Amino acid sequence: MSPRRSLLSRIVPLMLACAALAACEREERVLRIDPPVAEALADVEPMPNGIGGSHPEVYAVLGAPYETNAYDLSQGKRLYSWFGCKSCHGDGSGGAGPSLLDGWWRYGSDIESIFLTIRDGRPHGMPAFRDKLTTEQVWQLAGYVQTIGAYSAKTAAPGRDDDKQTRPAENRAPAALLMERRGKP
Amino acid sequence: MTPRTLRVLAALAGALSCTGCSGWQSALDAHGLQAAHLLRLITFIVVVCTVVWILVLGALAVALWRRRSGPSEPSDTGPAVERRLTVAVSSAVAVTAVVIAVFTAASYQTTRALSDLPSDALTVKVRGYQWWWEVSYQDPQSGRTLPSANEIHVPAGRPVRFVLEAADVIHSFWVPSLAGKQDLIPGRTNEIAIMAQRAGIYRGQCAEFCGLQHAHMAFMVIAEEPAQFEAWATAQLQDAAAPTNPEQERGRQIFLTKACAACHAIRGTPAAGTTGPDLTHIASRSTIAAGLLDTTRGSLAAWIADPQTLKPGNNMPMVPLAADELRAVSAYLASLK
């Protein structure tokens, strides 16, 4: 074996091992959000009709965590059951309130609209949760609600259900209306 | 150093290591009927195993020490030697089987004694959350339930049946000085009986890893004389104390208008949240946040100001409060005896 070859044969596995190590990084959980960041997260500028708007600058800087982070989605799922969302929206398939998983969004499917819906409420029954949840919690809940009715599956999923499944899992694809249509010839 | 000082030092060191066996959270310092049963069993097993260990090592030492009588080959044994060997090995096997059978019988006996529960037992429901304990007492006479958290008062000398449930993941209920462990499992109900034999404060701890703050999931069991227990229960059934000064009144207002009331209940006020611990008599409990901090106005304020630094990952969010609002809320909560 030539000296050159033996050097290569040593370096290549080492580099491969280093590359594999990079995959060991696990998703980061932000447990404590800095108060100024939390405050800045409330700066959603809605469009005049209350649908859609610009997200706070800090939201993009954080990397849109509430749509993609499994921990935040799980916390959102807990908030969904703790704060009585089930009493109107059921398991997501609706009840006294509209369904969340059918993919039909009255006020837009973007997370800013969902944030505004939860925080400020909407006419005909949706209460405002401004005084019940912190801004961070509203974002977590909005991320989870968006997941329920997303048009394409997210890569991150919230925690599993302990009870029997009554509806498709949150990280399935796509939304129920589209799924039904796809099933038809 | 004289031999006498050495002896004294050795005795002191021995005594010091023994202090690890006592205290408010030790299975070796039994103050409950069930813990006493378990302690008796473990003592019995340890003593018997110690004797077996000494005998085995003794036999090994003798075998190593003894010279062979002659240069005989191992296979070169007569029928007499063969018989002696058979007898020795068979009796060793027989003794082992008997010892294990006795252990099995003893632990069966102990387990039976643990689940023995008289019908006059008090029932306490405990529900495990990440990471705290919801406690509720069912009074069979009045039919009322008394909610509390992280602190369990029991009458000394009276059996108590704990009905165990979990809200999220598996937890385990363990008060080493009073009884063994029992798991709290989501979707099913477990039971454990405890009878504290004397009054005292016993620390309990979640004994099944349940997430980030598993270590900070402690609780207190306070065993009291029956009269004291009744007085405590009567006081706890009352609604929360009314504010007695403007600062406390302001704290009450802030508690009700901010996010606090969405998760916590204070009986006697509109606050009726069920996600977090009931705070009606929070200042009567010795610790907050499941044994994390002593209950003082300062620690209450610190906890409200920044729960995620004190116990990262718990479900209490940091609710933005101004400094004077924080002062008022902590004054109000500290007044809820």
B270, B220: one domain:
no
B13, B33: one domain:
no
According to DSSP, the residues that pair with B196 across neighbouring strands are B32
Please give the full DSSP string across B202-239, using - where no structure is assigned: EEEEE-S--STTGGG-EEEEEEE-HHHHHHHHHHHHSP
Decide if A35 touches B, using CB distance below 8 A. yes
pLDDT at res. A185: 46
**Res A65 pLDDT > 50:** yes
Within 87-116 of A, beta carbons closer than 8 Å to B belong to: none
Query: Is B314 within the bounds of a domain?
Result: yes
Give whichever of A7-16, A100-109, B193-202 has the largest mean pLDDT: B193-202
- Residue A38, judged by CB atoms within 10 A of its CB (0-12, 13-18, 19+), counts as buried
**Average pLDDT score over chain A:** 86
Measure Cα distances from A40 to A67, A141, B11, B55 in Å: 18, 17, 64, 73
Query: Is B154 within the bounds of a domain?
Result: yes
B123, B259: one domain:
no
B149, B205: one domain:
yes
Q: Are A141 and A130 in contact (CB under 8 A)?
A: no
Residue position matching structure tokens 């209950």: B295
Nearest to A138 by CA among A112, A166, A173, A102: A112
Provide mean pLDDT across the span A75-87.
93
Instruction: Residue B272: give the domain boundaries.
Output: 3-17+240-279+296-334
Query: Is B63 within the bounds of a domain?
Result: yes
Query: With contacts defined as CB-CB under 8 Å, which chain B residues touch A29?
Result: 313
What the block records as the tokens of B125 is: 């429901």
According to DSSP, the residues that pair with B122 across neighbouring strands are B160
B128, B255: one domain:
no
Query: Is B230 within the bounds of a domain?
Result: no
In this structure, the strands spanning B151-155 and B218-224 are parallel
Query: Is B144 within the bounds of a domain?
Result: yes
CATH number at residue B320: 1.10.760.10
pLDDT by residue, tens only, chain B of 337 residues: 566 777 777 777 666 665 556 778 888 999 999 999 999 999 999 999 999 999 999 999 998 988 776 666 666 668 888 898 899 999 999 999 999 999 999 999 999 988 877 777 889 999 999 999 999 998 767 777 889 999 999 999 999 999 999 999 999 999 999 999 999 999 899 999 999 999 999 999 999 999 999 999 999 999 999 999 999 999 999 899 999 999 999 999 999 999 999 999 999 999 999 999 999 999 999 999 999 999 999 999 999 999 999 999 999 999 999 999 999 999 999 999 9
Provide mean pLDDT across the span A58-87.
92
The alpha carbon of B326 is separated from its chain's Cα centroid by a whole number of angstroms, namely 33
pLDDT at res. A169: 82
- Taking each helix axis as running N to C, give the angle between helix B33-65 and helix B79-115, from 0 to 180 degrees, rounded to the nearest 10: 170
Question: Cβ contact (<8 Å) for A133 and B259?
Answer: yes
B244, B177: one domain:
no
pLDDT at res. A140: 96
Query: With contacts defined as CB-CB under 8 Å, which chain A residues touch B315?
Result: 75, 78
Q: Could you give the number of structural domains in chain B?
A: 2
pLDDT at res. B67: 75
Q: Are B268 and B294 in contact (CB under 8 A)?
A: no
Contacts (Cβ under 8 Å, ≥6 apart) of A127: A121
Question: Cβ contact (<8 Å) for A32 and B263?
Answer: no
Which pLDDT band, with edges at 50, 70 and 90, does A70 fall under? Answer: very high
Question: Which of A84-88, A123-127, A176-180, B175-179 is least confident?
Answer: A176-180
Vertex A15 angle, CA A10 and A18, to 5°: 130
Give me the residue from B258, B312, B318 closest to A131, CB to CB.
B258
Side chain identity, residue B87: V
CA–CA distance, B260 with B208 (Å, rounded to integer): 29
The model's pTM: 0.85
Contacts (Cβ under 8 Å, ≥6 apart) of A137: A75, A79, B317
Q: Report the gap between the CA of B270 and the closest CA in chain A (Å).
A: 13
CATH number at residue B103: 2.60.40.420
B187, B249: one domain:
no
Please give the full DSSP string across A37-51, using - where no structure is assigned: HHHHTT--EE-TTSS
Query: Is B123 within the bounds of a domain?
Result: yes
According to DSSP, the residues that pair with B172 across neighbouring strands are B183
Q: Are B329 and B251 in contact (CB under 8 A)?
A: yes
B184, B307: one domain:
no
Query: Is B234 within the bounds of a domain?
Result: no
B187, B273: one domain:
no
Residue position matching structure tokens 């999931």: B217
B252, B221: one domain:
no
pLDDT at res. B174: 96
Q: Report ipTM for this prediction.
A: 0.81
Number of residues written out for chain B: 337
B214, B259: one domain:
no
B248, B210: one domain:
no
DSSP B183: E
- Residue B4, judged by CB atoms within 10 A of its CB (0-12, 13-18, 19+), counts as exposed
Question: Cβ contact (<8 Å) for B257 and A131?
Answer: yes
Question: Cβ contact (<8 Å) for B315 and A83?
Answer: no
**B154 CB neighbour count, 10 Å cutoff:** 25
Query: Is B291 within the bounds of a domain?
Result: no
Measure Cα distances from B189 to A78, B119, B178 in Å: 22, 19, 21
Question: Cβ contact (<8 Å) for A162 and B306?
Answer: no
Question: Cβ contact (<8 Å) for B313 and A31?
Answer: yes
